[in-house]
Structure 1
Amino acid sequence: MLSLKNIAADPPAERHPRKVIDGSLLVLLGFTLAGAAAVLWIAGVARALDIIAETFGLLGILAPKIAAGIYIAATLPMLLLRDRVGRLIGQESGLRGLAVAAACGAAIPGGPMMTFPLAAGLTVAGADFGAMVAFVSGWSLLGLNRTLIWEFSFLPSHLVWTRYLLCLPVPVLLGLVARAITRRRPV
């Protein structure tokens, strides 16, 4: 089973088998079956089969990316030195650590299949909760790839600059709020 423990710094934890069928799967399955029933009722069997084929095609495209992201999340803590990560984006890194995390998030060109596993791996490698909030918020709000390729291509530049400048401090502010929350109640 996949583990995100930093093996070099932490002793191996007792492994608990993960449940394949849990509450979230049952809720998702319920919505899926309701949607399938609605498509069958409204559009018929042929359309329902088309959707199933499209779904498995998309799954074939996404599965390798998701697997690579999970592998990154599992191996990153073993490749990075915990004390270095802690100094750079750990609990004691201050505003500089939040700014570094937000800038790294903004610079990541990938989508959620890359960003979220990286955040999980960095957390295990020594990054604190506030820095990871800044990292994910930086990716979401300040992503340079999306801004340069999509926003400047389709929107007036003054609108893009206004949005970007207004969003610029937000990842750091969210990181500060996350740190304040975790000081009261550890996550």
Structure 2
Amino acid sequence: MPSLKNIAADLPPVQKTRRVFDGSFMVLLVLTLAGGVAVGVVSGWARVGQILIETFEFIAMLAPKIGAGIFIAATLPILLPRERVGRLIGRESGVRGLVVAAACGAALPGGPMMTFPLAAGLGVAGADLGAMVAFISGWSLLGLNRTLIWEFSFLPSDLVWTRYLLSLPMPVLLGLAARAVMQRRLA
């Protein structure tokens, strides 16, 4: 696993070569094939064909979004000065850095195709693991887009406010926990 140090002299971590057909892919492949055979036996092979067509249509719709997210993640370390990112949301940024990361995650519209590559790009650009956890947790727990558009539209406002206020400190607490875990691993 690459180190997420925030020293200006450090170069971005070298990514090790990833194999497409690794162990996790093989597990997914076996589960997918077993599911396909089960659907074929229960609902007929025509239904398996329909599912395959729907799946490839869904992949065609998602591919540009995933590509854009990965492109943004790849360009962040080039565009953002590593020492500035490190000061803002790096290991030495303290609780303030976790609050900034959580607030940025909460304000970020969009789905996981944007959020996860962006978090990875911030990590390479100088953010520490705690800030990345706070960023993703802020997006997941405090996402303003989802809260304003969906939750307030369908749920009672007292429920939404209660959930939001109880969730408010969680990204920072999770970021602190991630930093503590990393500190122990490095010690």
TM-score greater than 0.5 by the shorter chain: yes
Deviations, residues 156-179 of structure 1 (Å, cap 9, x unaligned): 000000000000000000000111
What amino acid does structure 1 have at the position aligned with 2:30? G
Match of 2:77 in 1: 77
- In structure 1, what is the equivalent of residue 41 of structure 2? 41
Deviation at 1:19, TM superposition (A): 1.6
Q: 1:179 to 1:16 in 2, by over 3 A?
A: closer
Structure 1 runs (4+) deviating above 4 angstroms are none
* Counterpart residue type for residue 77 of structure 1: P
What's 1:111 paired with? 111
Give 1:80-91 correspondences, 5 Å limit. 80-91=80-91
Pair 1:29–1:129, CA change in 2 (3 A): same
Partners in 2 of 1:74 and 1:154 — Cα distance?
37
Q: In percent, how many aligned pairs have the same letter?
A: 72
Question: Deviation at 1:45?
Answer: 1.3
RMSD: 1.6
Which structure 2 residues correspond to residues 99-138 of structure 1 after superposition, within 5 A? 99-138=99-138
Distance 1:11 1:146, change over 3 A: closer
TM-score (norm: length of structure 1)? 0.91
The gaps in structure 1 that reach 5 residues or longer are 1-7
Aligned partners of 2:17 and 2:90: how far apart in 1?
30
**Structure 1's 112 and 98: CA in aligned 2 closer, same or farther, altered over 3 A?**
same
Tell me what 2:165 maps to: 165
Give the 3 Å change call, closer, same or farther, for CA 170–11 of structure 1 in structure 2: closer
Q: How many residues were matched structurally?
A: 178
Structure 1 counterpart of 2:3: none
**Matched residue, 1:20:** 20
* Stretches of structure 2 lacking an aligned partner (at least 5 in a row): 1-8
What is the TM-score normalised by the length of structure 2? 0.91
